[in-house]
Amino acid sequence: MKKIMLSGFIAFSSLTGFAQQYEVATDDHNGKQHKMLLGHITDSLLRADTAFSWFAEGEKVYNPSPEAVKTVKKNRDKIWFKVFMGTWCPDSHYVIPRFYKLLEAAGVDKNKASLLAVDRSKVDKAKITEGLKVTNVPTIIVYQFDTELGRVVEYGTTGRFDTELADIIKKAK
């Protein structure tokens, strides 16, 4: 048991150590240039940059499911997340601010969520997306120690990503 806990801690520690290693690029899409972040970023970075005003807007209009908040809160010390998104991606614009509002409502330490911004090809320099077979964004992977409990891709299969996350989190022991 100690070995599992230690490996989970090491994996988690390595994620939080890279929380702000990112680069800024320009995305030329549909004839318009957009600011694009690549690499490990934070929700605070997205909130602070006016180029990503969609983040604050998404948080403002969302009220997390009370049942999802309850489930996340009950298990917050047992789980952590790897989150993949694109600052260029409309699905990420919708899900990611709401995901962070859910975490906040449940009292989850933000360091328990590693956020990786990718380009339109969903590729990152460290090939994390390739290793984890992430092909769409956003993708939220829920872990307990170093074991994946499940993932929600884009809006989820039901369109209620928060309810699907809660269902995955209920698997935590």
User: In the chain, what are the domain boundaries?
Assistant: 2-169
pLDDT for 24 equals 82
pLDDT at 130 over 90: yes
Longest Cα–Cα distance of the chain, Å, equals: 54
pLDDT for 18 equals 44
* Strands lying side by side in the sheet with 147-153: 22-29, 32-41, 113-117, 80-85, 139-144, 147-153
Q: Report d(CA 89, CA 33) in Å as an integer.
A: 14
pLDDT at 163 over 70: yes
pLDDT for 20 equals 53
Please state which of the ranges 7-21, 73-87, 150-164 shows the lowest mean pLDDT: 7-21
H-type alpha helices, the chain: 2-16, 43-48, 54-61, 66-75, 90-105, 128-131, 161-169
Q: 139 by DSSP, 3-state: which?
A: strand
pLDDT for 89 equals 95
List, in sequence order, every residue forming a beta bridge with 131; answer none if it has no partner. Answer: none
pLDDT at 157 over 70: yes
Cβ atoms of residues 39 and 116 within 8 Å: yes
CATH fold for the domain made of 2-169: Glutaredoxin (3.40.30)
Cβ atoms of residues 105 and 64 within 8 Å: yes
Q: Report d(CA 126, CA 123) in Å as an integer.
A: 9
Cβ atoms of residues 35 and 51 within 8 Å: yes
Which DSSP symbol is given to 110?
A: G
Q: Report d(CA 132, CA 128) in Å as an integer.
A: 6
